Amino acid sequence: MKLTVDGTEHELDIETDMPLLWVLRDELGLTGVKYGCGIAECGACMVHIDGQAVHSCQTLVGDVWGEVTTIHGLAAPGTLHAVQAAWVKHQVAQCGYCQSGQIMQAAALLAQTPDPTDQEIDDAMSMNLCRCGTYPRIRAAVRTAARTLQEGTQ
């Protein structure tokens, strides 16, 4: 089976019903993608498939329809995506375990909705759980990232 992840094509001999999450973590060593619940409730496992945010724990590898982007491939090596830069600036993370998923969700939101309302931010980001309670900082960081991205495109 072929799978393209973060721009690299892999040839894999695995079951088609293995969740993408475990292919990424255990077969490809992309451990920035996190396991939290396995049932599409927490969002820690979020990746993009052709730019769309999906729960990799509930996506079977055989059903992957496009190129996969993980937190490791969101920005070019050695650089930060605007969302990541905003996460650093606001020092969002506590334990940080949910943050790969939060960042992937926020990046997908801003790609589709460059100037989201507070309501749109809350709606999209409510897909992701943070047990440490970093929501106020996530809100602020999403707004900062939206501004940076808009300035960049003007």
Which residues bind to ligand FES, rule: CB under 6 A?
35-38, 40-45, 55, 57, 93-99, 130-132, 134
Give least dist CB 92 to ligand FES, A: 8
Select 1 or 37, whichever has its Cβ closest to another protein.
37
**Do residues 14 and 71 make contact, with C-beta atoms less than 8 angstroms apart?**
no
Q: Based on DSSP, count helices (H) and strands (E) in the chain, helices before strands.
A: 5, 5
x-or-dash pattern for another protein, window 32-61, by CB under 8 A? xxxxxxxx-xx-x-----------------
> Of 64, 82, 92, 110, which lies in the binding site for another protein, with binding defined by CB under 8 A?
92
Sign for the CA dihedral angle at 151, 83, 27, 31 comes to: positive
Task: Tell me: does residue 29 bind another protein (CB under 8 A).
Answer: yes
148 binds, among ligand FES, another protein, none (CB under 5 to 8 A by kind): none
Close Cβ partners of 78 (under 8 Å, ≥ 6 residues apart): none
Q: How far is the CB of 39 from another protein (least distance, A)?
A: 6
47, 66 Cβ separation under 8 angstroms: no
Q: Which of residues 1, 80, 143, 148 is near another protein by CB under 8 A?
A: 80
Among 48-56, 68-76, 108-116, 143-151, which window interacts with another protein (CB under 8 A)? 68-76
Contact 81, 88 (CB under 8 A): no
- Given the complex with ligand FES, which of 20 and 146 has the nearer CB atom? 20
Q: How far, in Å, CA of 120 to CA of 12, rounded?
A: 38
The separation between CA 69 and the C-alpha centre of its own chain, rounded to angstroms, equals 8
